[in-house]
A and B are shown apart, each in its own frame.
Chain A
Amino acid sequence: MAHDPRIRFDPASGIPAVRQIADRLRVLLVEGQLQPGAALPSVRRLAMELGVHFNTVAEAYRELAAEGWLDLKHGRGAVVIPRTVPARQDDAWSEDFRLRMRSLVAQMRSQGIPAERIAEELRAIAKVVTRT
């Protein structure tokens, strides 16, 4: 039996709850673990399970709806919709994302994660990226 995808929320991470929830859901959407047509739990249920306020989940859903990932219909909850990826012509984005990735890697290294382990993780991510 196929399991529903899971998201993880760490209240002690220091990252705002809405950021964590939106980011985790986006990963699932980008990787195709949440396919168009899939329904997400209601705001009430997800907020209760994660131990956060209703508004936090509602805001994360709204953010993803604004990005074109979700359709929010009153009474129907949040449903994943097909999304056309906008084509980026300029290269300005690459420097920004590269900086953010380097910053993340630096953060991992500063927390004592071995370089080889980080490289392994990045290779695994690259595999998923090229597949989806």
Chain B
Amino acid sequence: MRLILCAVYVFVGAVLFALPNLTRRELLFAVPILPDFRESPAGRRAIASFRAAITAAVLAGVGVLLASPANLLNATATAVPLLLLFVAGISFYRQNRKLAPAAIQYTRPREVELTTAPEELPRFAWLAAGPFAILAAVAAWLHLHWDKIPGRFPVHFDASGNPNRWAERTLHGVYGPLVWGAELCAWVLVMALAGWFGSRRSRFRTTMLGAVIAVEYLLGVLFSLNAVQAPLGIPAWVILLATMAILIPLIIVMRNKIREPGGPMDATPKEGWKGRVFYYNPNDAALVVERRVGLGWTFNFANPWSWVLLLGLALVIASARFALA
């Protein structure tokens, strides 16, 4: 179990290490720059400094995880990733401050086609139904193999791999996680549609839709594996492998798409970015805009629909109390 924890930790560290390359070429540590600035001594120095901090934190974290006594492993497994995120946040902020003088103004004029063409979803959007089909198929399989399900089975494990939550072979115990998984997938699907219809037309909009649908698949697969874990005795590393099998290609594809040259950056005004991460611009009608940190998109928190969607997520999370009871 320690090795699995270390693997997850190193994976998160690797993603953070790659963070400077997981944005458009015109952005470095959330600072708008000229695309060739990255190759300048100042750009290289900033990236190297950030990566040195991440590497040190990952190595220290792995050491702590491996050396931690068994009775402290739960606490260590929670504290170490938090520390890594803290180090990444501080280091990111430091580089952002250092690069601020090199920032260029990105308020280029917008040119818009006066089209009334209907906003049709791309053909692949029907794939969003897939995770629901997977969850339904697993539910059907569990129904057919009801006798194979133990009377009492573990549904949650601590950092040492010991079960710390159990369920019984009842409709609630067996199907509850699947129902909750379906709720989460439904929320992600709503996000995908909100992202499509609430963002500016750009070639990245299709990528965004595809990425959100991939996340929906990840959730569908994880909850399905979790549901059949007890009757089939699926080991934890299989679940980890399935997660990586979806996440790694997703990150690579998004990274390549976002770094393709040619597409102008979504010229969101600097004043709209609060704390470099949160976009709040009441004068922008968009619900979703391109992020300035990492891959993907973020809400315009000045749009009331962003709060409605977040409230929806809060309700889904709150419903776990009933679904997973």
Residues of chain A whose beta carbon lies under 8 Å from any beta carbon of chain B: 3-13, 17, 28, 34, 39-42, 44-54, 56, 77
Partner of B105 from the list A7, A12, A42 (CB cut-off 8 Å) is A12
Task: Count how many chain B residues have C-beta atoms less than 8 Å from C-beta atoms of the other chain.
Answer: 23
Candidates A17, A28, A41, A50; contact of B115 at CB < 8 Å:
A41
A28 to B116: give the CA distance in the assembly, Å: 16
Do A50 and B116 touch (CB < 8 A)? Answer: no
Please report whether the interface of chain B is mostly helix, strand, loop or mixed according to DSSP. Answer: loop
Does B268 belong to the interface (CB within 8 Å)?
Answer: yes
B201 touching A49, Cβ below 8 Å = yes
Interface presence of B112 (CB below 8 A): yes
Could you list 10 examples of A-B contacts with CB < 8 Å? A4-B113, A6-B112, A9-B111, A9-B112, A11-B107, A28-B114, A45-B119, A48-B199, A49-B201, A51-B283
CA distance A39 to B117 in the complex (A): 10
In the complex, which of the residues B112, B113, B114 contacts A34, with contact meaning CB atoms closer than 8 Å?
A: B114
Give Cα A13 to B285, complex, Å.
19
On whether the beta carbons of B107 and A50 are closer than 8 Å, the reply is: no
Given contacts A6-B113, A8-B112, A34-B114, 17 further A-B contacts (CB under 8 A): A5-B113, A5-B114, A6-B114, A7-B114, A8-B110, A9-B109, A9-B110, A10-B107, A11-B109, A12-B107, A45-B119, A46-B112, A48-B199, A51-B110, A54-B285, A56-B283, A77-B116
Closest Cβ–Cβ distance, residue A27 to chain B (whole Å): 12
List, in ascending order, chain A residues with CB within 8 A of B286's CB: 48, 51
Nearest A residue (CB) for B287: A48
Q: Tell me the nearest residue of chain B to A5, going by C-beta.
A: B114
Q: How far is the CB of B182 from chain A (nearest CB, A)?
A: 30
Sort A-B residue pairs by CB-CB distance and give the 4 closest, nearest first: A47-B285, A10-B109, A12-B107, A49-B112
Docked CA distance A9–B113 (Å): 11
Judge if B158 is at the interface, Cβ distance under 8 Å.
Answer: no
Given A6-B112, A9-B112, A40-B114, the answer on whether A48 and B283 have CB atoms closer than 8 Å is no
| A11 adjacent to B269 (CB under 8 Å) | yes
Q: Which residue of B lies closest to A42 (CB)?
A: B116
Contact A51 B114 (CB under 8 A): no
Write out the residue numbers on chain A whose beta carbons fall within 8 Å of the beta carbon of B137. none
CA A40 – CA B113 in complex, angstroms?
A: 10
Shortest beta-carbon distance from A47 to chain B in Å: 4
Contacts of A3 in B (CB 8 A): 113
Partner pick for A48 among B107, B109, B268, B285, CB 8 A cutoff: B285
Contacts A11-B269, A12-B107 hold; do A52 and B285 have CB atoms under 8 A apart? yes
**B110 and A50: CB pair below 8 A?**
yes
For residue B83, CB closer than 8 A to chain A, the reply is no
Whether A4 and B115, one on each chain, are in contact in the complex, defined by CB atoms closer than 8 angstroms, is yes
Chain B, Cβ-Cβ closest to A79: B116
B72 to chain A, nearest CB (A): 51
Q: Tell me the bound Cα distance from A28 to B113 in angstroms.
A: 12
The reply to whether B109 and A52 form a contact with Cβ atoms under 8 Å apart is no
Enumerate chain B residues within 8 angstroms of A40, measured Cβ to Cβ: 114, 116
Q: Is the CB of A51 within 8 A of B113?
A: no
Residues of A within 8 A of B284 (CB): 51-53
A7 partner residues in chain B, CB cutoff 8 A: 111-112, 114
Cβ of B198 within 8 Å of any chain A Cβ, yes or no, is yes
A8, B110: Cα distance in complex, Å = 6
Distance A9 CA – B199 CA, assembled complex (angstroms) = 17
